[in-house]
Each structure stands twice: as C-alpha cells, then as structure tokens.
A and B are shown apart, each in its own frame.
Chain A
Amino acid sequence: MPVLEIEDLSVSYGAVHALTDVSFSAAEGEVTAVLGANGAGKTTLLRAITGLVRPRKGTVRYDGEQLEKMSVEKIVRHGVAHVPEGRSVIEEMTVDENLRLGSLFRFSRRQRGPVIEEIYALFPPLAERRRQHANTLSGGERQMLAIGRALVSRPKVLLLDEPSLGLAPIVTARLMAVLRDLTQASNLIVVLVEQNARSSLSIAQKAVVINLGRVVVCEDAAKVAGDSELRHHYLGY
C-alpha cells in the first residue's frame, strides 16, 4: 500500500532553519493533520514535498520514487496536488478556465468535460459562476475553486494548506465533511495543514504537531484530541 514517507527532512532559508529532521508518514485513505503555531514550518513542509523549496537534507518518498529530486511539474504529474496557502486561484481567469487548467495534464480534451462537471457537483456554488472571473468570487468560493482545481486532476496525494482560513464555521464544517468522504471514497492520502486544530482533528486519523521546525508529536488523531494537556500546550484549546 503506497504511503507518503518523509524522512529526516530539513529545510533552511539562508540562516533560518525552518524545518529540522522532520519524519512521518501518511497512509492511503487517511487524513494526516499537521498542526502548529504560526511560523512553525507547516507551509514549508508542504512546499518541500512538492518541490517548491529544496530540502537541505532528507527524503520524500512516494510510490517507490524519491520526490525531493524531481521538478515541481514532475511531482505534480506524479499525482501530488498542492493547494497552497491563501486561495491561490488565478484571478484573471474564469472559474472554468481555472478548472480546465488543473485537468490539462491528466485528461484529454474529450474526457475533461465530465471530470469538471464532477467538481461542479461537489461544489455547487462554483457551477453557477463558471463563466465569472475568479477575482469576483468570495473567499469561500475561492477556496472551493482552489481545492476543486487540485481534485480535478484526480490526485493520489492531496496537500492542503489552511483551507479553512477565513471561512465561516459552517462552511468549514461542510468542507471537512467533503474532505473526509473524498479521502475514503478515492483512497486519497491527505495532508491537512490547519490552524483550526479542533475541526481538522475531527476528520483526521493521524496528527503531527510541529514546533519550531521539529516534530514534537506524531500520534493517532483521537489520542491527541483526547489529551487535554498536550492540546493545551501546543494547540491552545
């Protein structure tokens, strides 16, 4: 069973050590929640997995391949989809074009239509706005578009960077439910970076807590959610 395996990963920006010896693995059909304070290195971790930053040392393995030596495009074509921080939709393009762009490398022109319709079915608000430019979308709609654009390529690994940022609690709850169902239905490997520990732990099987660039906890999500001292110390609730 393929897993995403991260071993001894260290990343620095010049003199700043953003990650030090990070190791954990994420399994198929499971959501792995990555938690930690601001500046802990969560975003850096996801960027290192997709090759947007190069690690100083360590490996990222998936499906028998060493990802850390591949180009970003190659990693993505390998089935790793990354939804970056901050709803990075391409504002100058329409909703439909954004989705089309996500499907380009995986599907032929003919196959694309139905795949995109599936995304519209998953996120109905997008369907009503398919001809609109992405800069006219609300924050929540943008987040749906960003996630939809990642899903449209039918990835096997999905990396999400703070998808709930700025969303209303009810929207967040719906998003989490969609994620949970998707993960199980398509046997995805999901790495979910979140500030909102409570909601991400509710759908995660595993939790990784990062503090100052190091993994301090790597446990079953239920256990972390149940450990009030740990929660209090690192997650602040």
Chain B
Amino acid sequence: MQFFLNITLGGIATGMIVAAVALGLVLIFRATNIVNFAQGAMAMMTTYIAYAVLHQGSGYWLAFVAALATGLLFGALTQVVLIRPLQGKSPLNAIIVTFGFLIFLEGVAGAIWGSQTRTYPAPFSEAGQKIGNTQIAFSPFDVFVVLAVLALMILMLVLFRGTDLGLRMRAVAFAPETARLLGVRVRPLLTLGWALSAAAGVLAALLVVPTSSLTPNFMDVILIYGFTAAVVGGLDSPVGALVGGLATGLSLAYVGGYLGGSLEPMAALALVIVSLMIRPEGLFARPAPRRV
C-alpha cells in the first residue's frame, strides 16, 4: 500500500512536468497546427546556459530566471527564423524542420559541452518526508514542481481569459483570417506564442533536470511523454494538457513501478494508441469539426 502511494505521488510530480511540456506543445499546435519537436532540445540548450550561469557563482534563482528569459527569446527567434518562412507550406515541412532543429541542437550541445552527464541542483530538498511515522516519497522539491506548474497554468489562464492580448492570441489560434479582418496583427502574436511555449518547455526542463541529470538528450524522453499527454488530452486543449499530463505521469509511474522502468517509453506509445482508438479527438478537444 505504501509502495502504491509512493508511486502515485511520484507519478503526480512527473505528470506535472509532463503537463508543462504538453502545454508548450499545445500552445503552438493550436496557433499553427505544428508540433514543435524541437521544444525539448531548445529547453535542453537553455538549461545548459542556466548551468553556465549557475557556475558563474550566481544563485539558483538567478539561473532560473535567466533560463526562462533565454527560453522566451529562443522561442521567438526560432519562430522568426525557421517557422515564419514555412507559412503556407505543407505541414510536413514544418515537422521536418523542427525535427532537424532538434538534431542540430543536440549535436551542437554535444560539440560544446560533451556527452558527459552533469548534475544540476534542486532548490529544495529532494528527500522524501515523514508524515506521522510513515515515510512518503514526496519531497519539498516535488511540492515546488507541482506549485510551479500550477502557477504556469494559472498565468496562462489569466493571460488567455483575462487580457486583450490573450483574446487576440486566441483569435489568431482559432481563426487567423477572421482575426486579421478584425485588425489583429497575426505575426507578432505567433512569435509571442512560440516564446511562451518555449518558456513552458524550459520550466519543464528545469524541473526535471535535478532528477535526471544534464546531457544533450535528457529531454528526448520527456518530450515524447509530453506528446503523449497532449494526444491524450487533445492536441489543442490547454486543460487537456494538464489532465493528459497527470494521466500520463501516473500511468507511466505504475508501469515503471510494477513492470520495469525500461517499459515506460513503450507504455507511453501504448497509451497514445489506446487513446487514439477510444477517443481520437482527445479527452478535452473542442467540439468543433476538424479543420481540413
């Protein structure tokens, strides 16, 4: 029973991180129908930069803020340089370009920093806590993970529901041509969307790196879990990203805990297959018919 509880708690923490990745993917997919396969690699690069900042002697939080800022900038730049020229082309081109960018970034990271693993600190203790006299596997850091991702979700919600900027961004995502006819400038908003998405990816990376250690490909698996979560929740639903993230995190935790950790990536694939068979549009997809 305690084992089950601990696995569940671990699954929740992982699920929140996965949800952040999924949210990043969903933000971009909604606006441009592109899945940014390079999101994980972009976050990986940014984490290396945070690592460098950290080793300059700055504290954890300065590095944290620097990473998020770099992520925003990186996302915006990527959109302007790589994605904008693809507008109006087949979505296949965008997939190939983001995938190629993933490879390129991993190669560059390997060339600069080598493939050895580095440890990245956590801001809070990663040791499980005693509640009464049972030891539970939920550390202060896990609490931080959950709160950080919740904060991200709430920020996004406020942005999209409560501000004019968010209203414009939603209009661009749902109906770009109509948005233009209402005087909305589409391009800068798409750039902003990529920036926010990249920042969500960076947050996920910073939350996962203390437990996984820093290498050029440490985000690969997290990215495919994020993709899983996004598919389970519906690729265009931010709420779905959160629920899909938790569902994915928990399923993987149970598979890993009871059957073996090496099965997790394949379990994620199975989850995608099953959810596409049962509910192709995703749990939280909007009811509108698909765009053709």
CA A81 to CA B180, docked complex, whole Å: 11
A204 to chain B minimum Cβ distance, whole angstroms, is 23
Question: How many contacts A-B (CB < 8 Å)?
Answer: 67
Interface residues on B, range: 20 to 34
Contact call A50/B181, Cβ cutoff below 8 A: yes
Which chain A positions have C-beta within 8 A of B170?
Answer: 90, 92-93
A131 contacts B by Cβ under 8 Å:
no
B184 contacts A by Cβ under 8 Å:
yes
CA A88 to CA B175, docked complex, whole Å: 9
Which chain A positions have C-beta within 8 A of B186?
Answer: 73
Contact residues of A between 45 and 103, Cβ < 8 Å to B: 50, 52, 72-73, 76-77, 81-82, 84, 88-93, 97, 100-102
Closest to A112 in B: B164
> A92-B288, A93-B171, A135-B288 given as contacts; is B178 within 8 A of A104 (CB)?
no
Contact call A104/B168, Cβ cutoff below 8 A: yes
B182 contacts A by Cβ under 8 Å:
yes
A87 to chain B minimum Cβ distance, whole angstroms, is 11
Contact call A88/B180, Cβ cutoff below 8 A: no
A149 contacts B by Cβ under 8 Å:
yes
Contact call A101/B177, Cβ cutoff below 8 A: no
Contact with A along B154-183 (1 / 0, CB 8 A): 000000000010011011001101111111
> A90-B178, A91-B288 given as contacts; is B171 within 8 A of A76 (CB)?
no
Which chain A positions have C-beta within 8 A of B175?
Answer: 88, 90
B118 contacts A by Cβ under 8 Å:
no
> A84-B178, A135-B288 given as contacts; is B183 within 8 A of A97 (CB)?
no
Which chain A positions have C-beta within 8 A of B287?
Answer: 135
Contact call B182/A102, Cβ cutoff below 8 A: yes
Which chain B positions have C-beta within 8 A of A149?
Answer: 182
Contact call B181/A104, Cβ cutoff below 8 A: no
Contact residues of B between 176 and 215, Cβ < 8 Å to A: 177-186
A105 contacts B by Cβ under 8 Å:
yes
A10 contacts B by Cβ under 8 Å:
no
Which chain B positions have C-beta within 8 A of A77?
Answer: 183
Closest to A51 in B: B180
Q: State which of A72, A90, A106, A109 has its C-beta within 8 Å of the C-beta of B180.
A: A72
A153 contacts B by Cβ under 8 Å:
yes
Contact call B182/A84, Cβ cutoff below 8 A: no
CA A96 to CA B186, docked complex, whole Å: 21
A85 to chain B minimum Cβ distance, whole angstroms, is 11
Which chain A positions have C-beta within 8 A of B185?
Answer: 73
B183 to chain A minimum Cβ distance, whole angstroms, is 4
A150 to chain B minimum Cβ distance, whole angstroms, is 8
Which chain B positions have C-beta within 8 A of A90?
Answer: 170-171, 174-175, 178-179
Contact residues of A between 27 and 61, Cβ < 8 Å to B: 50, 52
Which chain B positions have C-beta within 8 A of A106?
Answer: 183
Contact call B184/A104, Cβ cutoff below 8 A: yes
B193 to chain A minimum Cβ distance, whole angstroms, is 16
Which chain A positions have C-beta within 8 A of B179?
Answer: 90, 101
CA A84 to CA B180, docked complex, whole Å: 12
A210 to chain B minimum Cβ distance, whole angstroms, is 22
Q: State which of A76, A82, A100, A153 has its C-beta within 8 Å of the C-beta of B167.
A: A100
Give 8 CB contacts A-B under 8 Å: A50-B181, A72-B181, A76-B180, A82-B181, A89-B178, A109-B164, A149-B182, A153-B182
Instruction: Give 13 new A-B contacts, CB below 8 A, not counting A72-B180, A82-B181, A89-B178.
Output: A50-B181, A73-B180, A73-B185, A81-B181, A84-B181, A90-B175, A90-B178, A90-B179, A93-B170, A102-B182, A104-B167, A105-B184, A153-B183
**Residues of B with Cβ closer than 8 Å to A?**
164, 167-168, 170-171, 174-175, 177-186, 286-288
